[in-house]
Copies of this chain bind each other. A is one copy, B any other.
Amino acid sequence: MIIVLKTEPDPAEVARMEQDLERRGLSLHAIKGQNTQVIGLVGDTASVDEEALQMYSCVDKVLKVQEPYKLAGRRFHPHDSIVDVAGRKVGGGHFAVIAGPCSVESEEQVLSIANDVKLSGAQFLRGGAFKPRTSPYAFQGLGLDGLELLKIAREKTGLPIVTEIMGQEFVEIFERDVDIIQVGARNMQNFLLLREVGKTGRPILLKRGLSNTIEELLMAAEYVLSSGKSRVILCERGIRTFETATRNTLDLSAVPVLQKKSHLPVIVDPSHGTGHWDLVFPMALAATAAGADGLIIEVHNRPEQALCDGAQSVTPALFDKLMKKLGRLRNVLNEEAQEEVSV
């Protein structure tokens, strides 16, 4: 941590701050420039609140040197993490596709889609039991009944299930019944929930909040990981910008940035990321080319009658075509992968 002092700081205030910091066991290294004086802090600075430092009247600003995430960061975990669910792997070169309807609507619907996406090669089935909706008057999902239908689909197809948790009151049920627990974008900074799901031991699919930075996503993962049991899959799903032609702006450069800063697998959601079914195909290819470790895609057998998010769902036929194209694309990306590592 670097403290930049004001132009002509009050020496007494500087001395008082230095004593406060030394009392916490930190060592201080001053550098005097022409117009500016800075103090480098050495030691366990994780406990130092940079904002509180700014209250000393002698401080101009505080610069962070180290990233604040230790468990999620690559510094102390140089190798890619691989999340393994019943033999289906994500990360470290393993690519996985999660597909299914936005919301579970009926047994017929979820079974039909689950069979289709399995045939096309999806490794996991997704489906919403509880649906967060902007309007209180919109369809809010089947709730726990929807979860039961997902379990039936799992039994019939063998596909592990991925579904979103909406609050702490469901942690016990999800720990028992769900293969990968999704924490949605709106809950990315629901810190109490993050701690609790981190204790389940189930892998957590953590979606980036629509206005959260990459660093905040990694800090949210740090919350989950600090509970000690669960592993984390990160998911880019679009951020909020001024552009209105797409529902969100899919930030694909987040994929290589996250992979550089973190060892965790990174997947992409082109359905929510764009909000339009005809953008899902190109953006799924783009996400894969950017190096994503997987995709999560909404598939619906009758999109125009979907009870939610129909506009961003692809049909099983288009999904099948996409999976074939992805296979050939992945072959090209994997060629000489070793060579590239040495770039």
Name A residues whose Cβ lies closer than 8 Å to a Cβ of B. 2, 4, 7, 29, 31-36, 38, 40, 42-44, 46-47, 49, 51-52, 54-56, 63, 65-66, 68, 75, 130, 132-138, 140, 166-169, 186-187, 189-193, 195, 209-211, 213-216, 219, 222-223, 226, 239-246, 249-257, 260-261, 273-279, 281-283, 285-291, 303-312, 318, 321, 325, 328-329, 331-333, 335, 339-340, 343
29 examples of A-B residue contacts, CB within 8 angstroms: A2-B65, A29-B31, A31-B31, A33-B66, A34-B44, A38-B65, A49-B138, A52-B305, A52-B311, A54-B311, A55-B310, A56-B304, A167-B190, A190-B190, A209-B211, A214-B245, A239-B249, A240-B242, A245-B261, A246-B253, A257-B279, A260-B278, A282-B289, A282-B290, A286-B287, A286-B290, A289-B289, A318-B343, A329-B333
Tell whether, in the assembled complex, residue B239 and residue A253 are in contact, meaning their CB atoms are under 8 Å apart. no
Tell whether, in the assembled complex, residue B241 and residue A242 are in contact, meaning their CB atoms are under 8 Å apart. yes
Tell whether, in the assembled complex, residue A249 and residue B246 are in contact, meaning their CB atoms are under 8 Å apart. no
Tell whether, in the assembled complex, residue A311 and residue B55 are in contact, meaning their CB atoms are under 8 Å apart. yes
Which of A63, A209, A288 counts the most chain B CB atoms within 10 A? A63
CB-CB < 8 A to A289: which residues of B? 282, 285-286, 288-289, 329
Interface of A is mostly: mixed
Tell whether, in the assembled complex, residue A285 and residue B333 are in contact, meaning their CB atoms are under 8 Å apart. yes
Given contacts A136-B191, A243-B214, A279-B257, contact A340 B311 (CB under 8 A): no
CB-CB < 8 A to A290: which residues of B? 282-283, 285-286
CB-CB < 8 A to A253: which residues of B? 246, 249-250, 273-274, 279, 282-283
